[in-house]
Amino acid sequence: MIVIPMAGASRRFYLAGYDVPKYRLMLDGRSLFDHAVRSFQAYFETEPFLFILRDDGDAPAFVAARLKALGLRHGALVALGAPTSGQATTVILGLDDIGCPADEPITVFNIDTFRPGFRYPEADWFAHSDGYLEVIHASDPGLSFVRADPASSDPRVLETAEKKVISDLASTGLYHFRRADDFHAAYEQERMRPSAGELYIAPMYNHLIAAGKQVHFRLLEPQDNVFCGTPQQYQALLRGGVGL
């Protein structure tokens, strides 16, 4: 299941003078929503999708209409009536609402990031991985980070951290868990002892690692991922286009 949490308030965009949620802004003739969701076009026919949004105005109707237009076959919507304590909580509420099976693999992705031509890893490590993150080389302290295991021949994760630069491997915001019940268990542990002011997903992998599970990372080239989460990033893309 591909899970797209989109219950944020778009605060930075409203403060910058925009009057619609950022996922409805247009870029190269398509909404940011379309660009983000089309990242997973290879799975439109085969994989269930879950969209978790705020119950504001016509947001559910907008999302439903766009999913139909995009040709996505299996899409569920969950509308939340109040803000949550973070992206991890948003995902949990959505999974619980639809009764997600315990053994369902889940892949979480941001509505303000594009991952053109996404495919699940074909590397040998993916077959025995309990979860993986996609990363790029970066040093922005506003991101989450991965520390690689130097003793592993696979790209295995030794530690994750939120807004703490522990390496030059920064998360792009794509998080995969082989089983939904691992996500739930890690969330409960993170909720009891939060590692940050909000409940983020990246630190949850530390609980899987502590339990002896294998977590990996996939390193992307800069052109493989397009960020559009701030007004500055959006304006830069408007000037240069994305070619998607």
Q: Is residue 27 part of a domain?
A: yes
**What integer pLDDT is reported at residue 95 of this predicted model?**
98
74: Cα within 13 Å, side-chain hemisphere:
11
Q: What is the mean pLDDT of the chain?
A: 94
**What integer pLDDT is reported at residue 240 of this predicted model?**
84
Q: Is residue 189 part of a domain?
A: yes
Q: Is residue 164 part of a domain?
A: yes
Check which CATH number belongs to the domain holding 35 and give it.
3.90.550.10
Instruction: Please state, for a pLDDT cut of 90, what percent of the chain lies above it.
Output: 83
The pair of three-digit structure tokens given for residue 119, joined into one six-digit string: 């495919």
Q: Is residue 117 part of a domain?
A: no
**What integer pLDDT is reported at residue 145 of this predicted model?**
97
Of the candidates 198, 231, 219, the residue with the CA atom closest to the CA atom of residue 13:
231
Specify the number of domains making up the chain.
1
Q: Is residue 120 part of a domain?
A: no
**What integer pLDDT is reported at residue 242 of this predicted model?**
64
Burial group, residue 139, by CB count within 10 angstroms (0-12, 13-18, 19+): exposed
Mean pLDDT of 72-92: 94
Structure confidence by residue, pLDDT tens digits, 8-59? 767 788 888 898 889 999 999 999 999 999 999 999 999 999 999 988 888 9
Structure confidence by residue, pLDDT tens digits, 147-203? 999 999 999 999 999 999 999 999 999 999 999 999 999 999 999 998 888 999 999
Beta strand residue intervals within 90-190, DSSP E: 106-108, 113-114, 131-137, 144-148, 157-162, 169-177
Spatial distance between the Cα atoms of 190 and 213, rounded to a whole number of angstroms: 16
Structure confidence by residue, pLDDT tens digits, 200-211? 999 999 999 999
- Please say whether the beta carbons of 180 and 100 come within 8 A: yes
Q: Is residue 33 part of a domain?
A: yes
**What integer pLDDT is reported at residue 122 of this predicted model?**
96
Q: Is residue 118 part of a domain?
A: no
Q: Is residue 171 part of a domain?
A: yes
The residue segments making up the domain with residue 77 are 2-111+125-240
Q: Which residue has the higher pLDDT, 14 or 62?
A: 62
Q: Which residue has the higher pLDDT, 70 or 20?
A: 70
Question: Is the per-residue pLDDT at 118 higher than 90?
Answer: yes
Element (H, E) at 188: helix 180-192
Question: Is the per-residue pLDDT at 244 higher than 80?
Answer: no
**What integer pLDDT is reported at residue 15 of this predicted model?**
86
**What integer pLDDT is reported at residue 34 of this predicted model?**
97
